[in-house]
Amino acid sequence: MRTAEGYRKLIWKAKIRWLIGNIIVYSIVCIPLVPIILMYGWLIAQAFSGVCISSLIPQKLTLDNFYFLTGPIYWGGTPLYKSYWPLVRNTLLLALGTTGLVVAITSLAGYAISRFEFKGRDPLLKSVVVVHSIPGVLFLIALMYVLNTIGLYGKGFLTLLSVIIIKAGLESPMYTWMLKGFFDSVPWELEWAALVDGCSRFAAWRKVVMPLIFPGIAAVSIFAFLSGWGEYLLVLTYITDRKWYTLSLALSELTYQFKHVDYGMLAAFSLLYLLPAMVFFLLTQKYLMTMRIVAYKG
Amino acid sequence: MVRVKLEHLTKRFGKVVAVNDLNLEIKDGEFMALLGPSGCGKTTTMLMIAGIYKPTKGHVYFNDVCVDDLPPKDRNVGMVFQSYALYPHMKVFDNIAFPLKLKKLPKDEIREKVKKVADFLEIGHLLDRKPAQLSGGQMQRVALARALVKEPDIFLMDEPLSNLDAKLRVVMRAEIKRLQKRLGITTIYVTHDQVEAMTMADRIAVLREGILQQCAVPDELYLKPRNMFVGGFIGSPPMNFLDCSLVEENHEHYLDLGVFKLWIPPDIADLIMKNASGSELVFGIRPEDLKVTLTLPPEAKEAGQKSKIQAIRSEIYVLEPLGKDVIINTKLGDTLVKVVAPPTIRPSVGETIWLNFDLDKMHVFDKKTELAVI
């Protein structure tokens, strides 16, 4: 039999244990946060500083570093790019194109794998994991030959389109698998009800199933957009015409200065480049969490 | 209005045979129940009638026309699912209007029809809500409305009442039966609850492991079950089964139930000998057909003697009072026998009572084939 005093002591001990536990956990969690905060902090501070700084405090606050928004971009004295905006256009094209293509392919493929029985269905599913683990880098040279033979290499806009197709192709298996998990969670009876109500298979997919899959589609779109927005290797390898460079490529070129590095401009440029990614992540964290859980269940 | 005929209907999923050579005819305007335990193939049969599953073998006929290749959307069936399958992203109005929208009817006509059905089912005030905001009973009515609004030729219902609470279930049973009688639509109703089937259907098809056991009107299933499964499935509490064998002593025939013997008249004995495959039999008697008395009544004789009503003494094991009756459990040998007695008899546990067997009410089955032999 415990006395009131005894209970109070136990509660006190439990509270202290909980407090210390939390302090330890949060401290450990904060450790990896430190370099991240330092990096982003420096980026933001440098973007608004007139001189090159090595601390988190901006000096000589100015907006001059953002000059590239309204004029040619200088590389150690010479104008390397006539304008900033075509770069943005190309990057957007790549990102949105990849997203559109990926969503179109994976929403149909995921549905088919989830609902239809066909020969090779299981091996197909299992091979997705294997294929995804192969780095796309391995295919660079082979794809170069393919593009050249088809006549799509060095053709400016068409090459950018090819990059979109290649990106969509490399990433679709994984996204198909994610969406399959979502499709699996839609009960059969809903589709049967739609079929009996008068839908063809396609109409049932479009009107009943897809609206219910919306979080999955949203997650896949976000991932595909961000992947396209940050694509560097494929663009570097295949796009030779400066008119069709993307932001990632331009950034890499601009960092290649050896005498007079314009850290301010670079920081400003990088800040604007990473802004959409950050905004997306902040707005859609919830969606991405549900998506990960469903994907693992599937 | 449509007649449905199922001819040698078989459905296989890989190695599993869900429906095995089903032959059934449903008359125009009839309320047919498909009754059986879980996994007996009743839902699969219904989905084949709807066109969602294609039969592995056999055919489905609507008015003598083979509809095997007709897709579900062209069969004009209205279906209510066990989980209602309401479209969660649409409002109630849009859920009910969905079949009409697919038929591309004008907006005014759609609104009029939806309102009419909604008022008929008393859900007119719920049209702006989403399914998540409805109670179970309301969702079920919306599902019914969606099935009815396109004026179907056939009404298919897959255990629509099993997700409702007991009280609502009883109310909805009567409502659905009244609805069907009023509209006269051929209805096929799937259920595992024999009370639902018995109270609602014109005819019941009892299924077990994909095979049709018996198809008849409720009274016939109750009074003349074709086999042990039907006998034990229909009726609550279920029929009592006691192993027995036919013996002959001094030119008289008896059913030897181990603990006691029952005399049986010669014509019944002949019938048993003709129909049974061997000597091992099962004696069946419904709890409500057994009578409990405290003393041996004048019309009865002790078991083994020549009488229509024979009685044996037995000790009460457990009592289950229900208010309107009491279920008396007694042990005969190793078998627990249940008897439904009126509440006027008030014995107590451990007391000895007379169990009266009426030969008119007995059922005898072949132990091996499980078929009824009389």
pLDDT of B247 above 80: yes
Mean pLDDT of B154-166: 90
Percent of chain A predicted with pLDDT > 70: 94
Alpha helix ranges (H) inside chain B? 42-50, 92-102, 107-120, 136-148, 166-183, 194-200, 218-223, 228-233, 266-275
Q: In what order do the strands lie in the sheet with B16-26?
A: B16-26, B4-13, B57-62, B65-66
Q: Using one digit for the tens of pLDDT, what is the confidence trace for B99-121?
A: 999 999 999 999 999 999 999 88
**3-state DSSP call for residue B87?**
coil
Q: Using one digit for the tens of pLDDT, what is the confidence trace for B313-355?
A: 899 999 999 988 999 999 888 889 999 998 887 788 888 889 9
Whether residue A231 lies inside any domain: the answer is: yes
pLDDT in the model for residue A296:
41
A255 and A291 fall within a common domain: yes
pLDDT in the model for residue A295:
44
Q: Which of these, B84, B85, B65, B83, lies nearest to B75 by C-alpha position?
A: B65
Whether residue A75 lies inside any domain: the answer is: no
| Complex ipTM over 0.90 | no
pLDDT range class, residue A287, cuts 50, 70, 90: low
What's A251's domain CATH number? 1.10.3720.10
Q: Tell me the chain B residues in contact with residue A212 when contact means C-beta distances shorter than 8 Å.
A: 88-89
Q: Using one digit for the tens of pLDDT, what is the confidence trace for B116-137?
A: 999 988 899 999 999 999 998 8
A41 and A97 fall within a common domain: no
Interface with chain B: mutation pick from A196, A209, A214, highest number of B CBs within 10 Å: A196
pLDDT in the model for residue A298:
32
CB environment B7-18: b (16+ within 10 A), e (fewer): bebbbeeeeebb
Alpha carbons B106 and B100: distance in angstroms, whole number: 9
Instruction: Say which range, A126-130, A167-171, B240-244, has the weakest mean pLDDT.
Output: A126-130
Interface with chain A: mutation pick from B48, B89, B114, highest number of A CBs within 10 Å: B89
**By the CB < 8 Å criterion, does A192 face chain B?**
yes
Alpha carbons B118 and B127: distance in angstroms, whole number: 8
pLDDT range class, residue B46, cuts 50, 70, 90: very high
Q: Tell me the chain B residues in contact with residue A202 when contact means C-beta distances shorter than 8 Å.
A: none
Whether residue A70 lies inside any domain: the answer is: no
Query: Quick check: B181 and B202 in contact, CB under 8 A?
Result: no
Instruction: Say which range, A104-108, B174-178, B230-234, B298-302, has the weakest mean pLDDT.
Output: B298-302
Query: Quick check: A175 and A128 in contact, CB under 8 A?
Result: no
Mean pLDDT of chain B: 91
Question: Measured between CA atoms, how close is B131 to chain A, in angstroms?
Answer: 13
Query: Which residues, listed in sequence order, are joined to residue B331 by a DSSP beta bridge?
Result: B336
Alpha carbons A218 and B219: distance in angstroms, whole number: 58
A183 and A86 fall within a common domain: yes
A95 and A47 fall within a common domain: no
pLDDT in the model for residue A48:
87
Mean pLDDT of B146-151: 91
Whether residue A212 lies inside any domain: the answer is: yes
Percent of chain B predicted with pLDDT > 90: 64
The two three-digit tokens of residue A198, written as one number: 């008068």
The whole domain housing A30 covers: 4-62
Beta strand B203-208 with B31-35: parallel, antiparallel or unpaired?
parallel
A26 and A137 fall within a common domain: no
A174 and A95 fall within a common domain: yes
**Class of residue A267 by CB neighbours under 10 A (exposed 0-12, middle 13-18, buried 19+):** buried
Whether residue A38 lies inside any domain: the answer is: yes
Whether residue A32 lies inside any domain: the answer is: yes
A268 and A159 fall within a common domain: yes
Give, as one character, the DSSP assignment of residue A49.
B
Mean pLDDT of A141-164: 88
Alpha carbons A235 and A153: distance in angstroms, whole number: 12
pLDDT in the model for residue A129:
77
**By the CB < 8 Å criterion, does A212 face chain B?**
yes
Beta strands in B201-293, from DSSP E residues, in sequence order: 203-208, 211-216, 240-249, 252-256, 261-264, 280-285, 291-293
Mean pLDDT of chain A: 86
Work out the widest C-alpha separation in chain A, in whole angstroms: 87
Give the residue on B whose Cα is nearest the Cα of A212.
B89
A85 and A153 fall within a common domain: yes
**By the CB < 8 Å criterion, does A196 face chain B?**
yes
Residue type, A9: K
Mean pLDDT of B15-42: 93
The two three-digit tokens of residue A159, written as one number: 């090459």
Give the residue on B whose Cα is nearest the Cα of A189.
B85
pLDDT in the model for residue B318:
92
Give the residue on B whose Cα is nearest the Cα of A192.
B52
- CA distances, A83 to each of A69, A198, B157, B329 (Å): 8, 54, 67, 94
- CA distances, A5 to each of A11, A19, B59 (Å): 10, 21, 79
pLDDT of A1 above 80: no
**3-state DSSP call for residue B206?**
strand
Q: Does the bond joining B237 to the residue before it have cis omega, within 30 degrees of 0?
A: yes
Give the residue on B whose Cα is nearest the Cα of A188.
B85
Contact check, Cβ <8 Å, A189/B47 = no
A31 and A136 fall within a common domain: no
A57 and A102 fall within a common domain: no
Query: Which residues, listed in sequence order, are joined to residue B363 by a DSSP beta bridge?
Result: B284
Give the one of B71, B81, B89 whose C-beta lies nearest to A189's C-beta. Answer: B81
Q: Using one digit for the tens of pLDDT, what is the confidence trace for A71-95?
A: 888 776 677 788 888 899 999 999 9
pLDDT range class, residue B162, cuts 50, 70, 90: confident
Alpha carbons B56 and B17: distance in angstroms, whole number: 10
Alpha carbons B204 and B231: distance in angstroms, whole number: 13
pLDDT of A120 above 50: yes
Q: Using one digit for the tens of pLDDT, what is the confidence trace for B176-219?
A: 999 899 999 999 999 999 999 999 999 999 999 999 999 999 99
Contact check, Cβ <8 Å, B71/A200 = yes
Contact check, Cβ <8 Å, A193/B81 = yes
pLDDT in the model for residue A297:
38
Contact check, Cβ <8 Å, A195/B73 = yes
Backbone φ and ψ of B216, nearest 5°: -160, 175
- CA distances, B20 to each of A153, B47, B154, B159, B190 (Å): 61, 15, 23, 21, 17
Interface with chain A: mutation pick from B12, B43, B79, highest number of A CBs within 10 Å: B79
Contact check, Cβ <8 Å, B73/A197 = yes
**CA B315 distance to own-chain centroid:** 33
Query: Which residues, listed in sequence order, are joined to residue B4 by a DSSP beta bridge?
Result: B26, B62
- Specify the number of domains making up chain A: 2
Whether residue A50 lies inside any domain: the answer is: yes
Give the one of B73, B79, B89 whose C-beta lies nearest to A199's C-beta. Answer: B73
Contact check, Cβ <8 Å, A196/B72 = yes
pLDDT of A55 above 80: no
Give, as one character, the DSSP assignment of residue B371.
B
Query: Which residues, listed in sequence order, are joined to residue B338 by a DSSP beta bridge?
Result: B329
Ranked by mean pLDDT, which of A119-128, A236-245, B45-54, B170-179 comes out on top?
Answer: B45-54
A145 and A268 fall within a common domain: yes
Among residues A62, A93, A110, which one ends one of the domains? A62
Query: Quick check: A38 and A28 in contact, CB under 8 A?
Result: no
Whether residue A153 lies inside any domain: the answer is: yes
Query: Quick check: A153 and A161 in contact, CB under 8 A?
Result: no
pLDDT in the model for residue A121:
87
Domains and CATH numbers, chain B: 4-233 (3.40.50.300), 240-366 (2.40.50.140)
A92 and A36 fall within a common domain: no
Beta strand B309-321 with B300-302: parallel, antiparallel or unpaired?
parallel
Interface with chain B: mutation pick from A117, A192, A197, highest number of B CBs within 10 Å: A197
